[in-house]
Amino acid sequence: MQLVTAHRKPARLRAWWIPYALIALPAVYVGGIQLFTLVRGLWLSLSDTNLLTPWDSTFVGLDNFQEVLTSPRFADALQATIVYVIGSLGGALALGLGAALILNARFRGRRLARALVAIPWATPGVAVALVFVWIFNDQFGVLNFLLTSAGLLARYNTWLSNPHNAMLAVLIPTVWQLFPICALVILAALQAVPEDLVEAARIDRADSISRFSAVILPAIKPTLATITLLATIWSFRRFELVWLLTQGGPGSATNTLAVDVYRETFLYADLGLGATVGMIGLTLSMCVTLVYFWWGGRGSTIGEPEVAR
Amino acid sequence: MLDSHHSTVKLAAVGVAFALILAGCGTASPGTAAPTGTAAPTSTAVVPTAAPPVTLEVASWVWAEPRGADVAAAWIDPFQLAHPNITIEKVTIPYANYDNTINAQLGTNAAPDVLQMSDVGFAQAVAANRLTDLDPLIDYATYQPKLLPQNEFGVRNDTRYGYIYSLAVFGMFYNKQLLDGANLAVPTTFDEFLAAAAALTDTTAGRYGFAMRSTLAESAGWWPMFSMWVLGNGAKYLDGDNVTIDTPEMHRAVEQYMTMYNSGSMLTGTDAATFRRLFADGGVGMTFDNGLGTQMASFPQMLGNAYIAPTPFEGGNQLALPLYIAISEDSPHKAEAAMLLEYFLSDEVQGKLAVALRGELPATFDFEHPSASYQSFLTDAYWVGPLESQVANARPAIEPGPLSILAPKLATAILTELSKVQSGEQTIDEMLANAQATVEAAAAEL
């Protein structure tokens, strides 16, 4: 009796195409949609196109970019955007890190606290904006009431209608809504920090600040970098909160690039200029992303925690 | 252990299925298709008796309002009964997003057949040739004797693109009980207005003499309310080919507005929903607004106490916003849409709409011979009488002209600069100079 051995291909030949097949379809879907809209947006930014007649475009080269970049309104929008991004990022990360450290500790009700912290993130932006419009109301808002009652303000302040306070008034709900996702992501990273390293530092009589800076922070740095990148891009794109709270006002105090894109495209019906502002915003986001990958590539592999030396 | 051949076949089958699903879900890229509108008929279209079923989409923000049901009962429902082959689909779009949504739909050839339009949206659609010439479809001469004169604003470049859907007349609402309680007459001059607002203000009781929109967050509504000051002082934003923002009349208008704004008698930074509620409950003595009849439906406590008067400015005009009804250029059912519009303009419907619109005036309105139902309505709607007297003197914020397409940019420029004056960042002179320069630059690009 002879044993018949079935001919089998080598494992590497049998399996090599499977990963490509699995990513091909989502790649086609994402590439088809995203790439098409990117190319279309680029074309629109180089054309004079009316929202009501988008098929009737006239190529104008870089005229739109020249008009936007030399406009005083764009300079205000860029400044407002940078302030908004830095403010929301800083506030969300600081608050998120603090919340994550607290939620990582052991205390009764920790599970409930972890669930509750997600509420701001889960609340629709429109609802958040409408409630904060009321909170910031000049005459009847609860914020003025609380601050004057606590003696922190001598009299009621103007918030959304005051160019000096409007950006702060817009940042508060933004940070309130953004910090939970930062907290939860950082919390996940904190829970992956090896407990024995922390214990070793404790045995070496390192105080909490030293334990955090020498052991915990290096371990969660890649996660912090990733959430910083994501939060930056989200802040660049944030529209509904700013629009519903101030529509970019008073004056140009809160007129971010996202608000400008909407105004040019839908109020002025100028698809070309709207796409131009959008392309500029996209370029800024890409610059941030490139900085992130460049910084992440220096001395460490992205995703791998640094080892404390 | 899986058979390798069967695994390959299964994976390939899954891949093919996904590809088929994606192909089926794929749609044409928005905005790349050429317009598919049919040519307008050269004569009034006649629908054959055995007409095929047709669905007409009719867009309006009124459908979302309390009076929407009454408007539909006056116009849409009886039309459907009389034309069983035509089904009307009411497309509801909130006012705040109306122009943006309709513009985007016009741009993708997906706009409803019949459109209610704001004056700004109408101008934009006309400039982009997205509306149908109505004269070949509707005999103007039939309706002309009774049409409100403001219907001529529907004619652009000698072509009639729309009729008046309704005329929103703005005025000064006042709380009669508060005025009587303070022994105040209805103000007819700015000084009387300022004094009355001061007399009615009691901030300890949470009451203000005057309120209106005053923030960019409500710029769509702030624009007409601020324009009441402009028109009342005899100023104009545009005059033919000229930008006329930086003028003495405009300076006076802004100065009066800022005097009231800084007086302590005006409720500032509050949205319309709030101050309308306060007005209904006696927390505000006077407002600049429109739609009192609609507000009374929401706040019945206003009945018998809220009245309308012309704005207290001397020598100028009142504000009336024309709202248009038009047919989309892409509509495949222009004949049926024209039938609906002709029915809209009929005496029967116009008489009912005068009641259903609760104070906004419809396209045709015979002041001397109002319909019986309107007579009955006037008995209860005591507030409507003053509106009728204002119509002759009522103008839109920006009248049709070569520069009227600049309305959105002009409004943004004016309100942005005005908000800087409100916050003390600049003077009125700087505001007007900046706004004039901005709009002139936009005009130069046309």
The whole-angstrom distance between A206's CA and the closest CA on chain B is 52
| Closest-approach residue (CA) in chain A for B36 | A55
Region for residue A182 given its phi and psi (left: phi exceeds 0; alpha: psi -120 to 50; beta: otherwise): alpha
For residue A137, the chain B residues in CB contact (below 8 A) are 269-270, 274
B34 reaches A (C-beta below 8 A): yes
| Closest-approach residue (CA) in chain A for B273 | A134
Multiple choice CATH, B54-168+321-395, 3.40.50.300, 3.40.50.150, 3.40.190.10, 3.20.20.70: 3.40.190.10
The whole-angstrom distance between B406's CA and the closest CA on chain A is 8
**Can you say how many angstroms the Cα of residue B319 is from the centroid of all Cα atoms in its chain?**
12
B20 reaches A (C-beta below 8 A): no
The answer to whether the peptide bond before residue B78 is cis (omega within 30 degrees of 0) is: no
What ranges in A136-270 are assigned the alpha helix state H?
A: 142-149, 166-191, 195-203, 208-211, 217-237, 240-245, 257-262
Question: Is 0.95 exceeded by the ipTM?
Answer: no
A17 reaches B (C-beta below 8 A): no
Residues B4, A9: C-beta atoms closer than 8 Å = yes
For residue B420, the chain A residues in CB contact (below 8 A) are 163, 250-251
Token pair in block for residue B150: 């403001």
Burial B5-14 (b: 16+ CB within 10 A, else e): eeeeeeeeee
> Which chain A residues in 156-185 lie under 8 Å from chain B, judged by CB atoms?
158, 160-164
How would you write the pLDDT of chain B (446 residues) with one tens digit per residue? 444 455 555 555 555 544 444 444 433 333 333 333 333 333 344 555 567 899 999 999 999 888 899 999 999 999 999 999 999 999 999 888 899 999 999 999 999 999 999 999 999 999 999 999 999 999 999 999 888 888 999 999 899 999 999 988 899 999 999 999 999 999 999 999 999 999 999 988 989 999 999 999 899 899 999 999 999 999 999 999 999 999 999 999 999 999 999 999 999 988 898 999 999 999 999 999 988 878 887 888 888 899 999 999 987 899 999 999 999 999 999 999 999 999 999 988 988 888 888 878 888 877 677 777 777 777 778 887 777 777 877 889 998 899 999 999 999 999 999 999 999 999 999 999 999 999 999 999 88
Residues B416, A249: C-beta atoms closer than 8 Å = yes
Give me the residue from B31, B99, B219 closest to A54, CB to CB: B31
Multiple choice CATH, B171-310+403-444, 2.40.50.100, 1.20.140.10, 3.60.21.10, 3.40.190.10: 3.40.190.10
Token pair in block for residue B17: 């299925």
| Closest-approach residue (CA) in chain A for B3 | A8
Residues A249, B29: C-beta atoms closer than 8 Å = no
Give me the residue from B11, B128, B408 closest to A267, CB to CB: B408
Please report the DSSP string for B72-132 in residue order: HHHTHHHHHHH-TTEEEEEEE--GGGHHHHHHHHHHTT---SEEEE-HHHHHHHHHTT-B-
**Residue from B40, B31, B65, B70 nearest B373 by CA:** B70
> Which chain A residues in 21-40 lie under 8 Å from chain B, judged by CB atoms?
21, 24-25, 28-29, 36, 40
Please name the residues in contact with B103: beta carbons below 8 A apart, sequence gap of 6 or more: A51, A52, A266, A269, B121, B124, B125
Residues of chain B with CATH 3.40.190.10: 54-168+321-395, 171-310+403-444
Query: Are B326 and B126 a contacting pair, CB within 8 Å?
Result: no
Q: Model-level pTM?
A: 0.83
Give me the residue from A21, A29, A36 closest to B29, CB to CB: A36
Query: Which DSSP letter does residue B358 get?
Result: B
Give me the residue from A18, A55, A269 closest to B31, CB to CB: A55
Token pair 């769509």 in the structure block, residue: B220
Question: How far, in Å, CA of A130 to CA of B5, rounded?
Answer: 59
B430 reaches A (C-beta below 8 A): no
Query: Which DSSP letter does residue A288 get?
Result: H
Question: How far, in Å, CA of A307 to CA of B8, rounded?
Answer: 43
Q: Which domains does chain A have, with CATH numbers?
A: 62-297 (1.10.3720.10)
Give me the residue from B18, B108, B423 closest to A251, CB to CB: B423
Residues A249, B419: C-beta atoms closer than 8 Å = yes
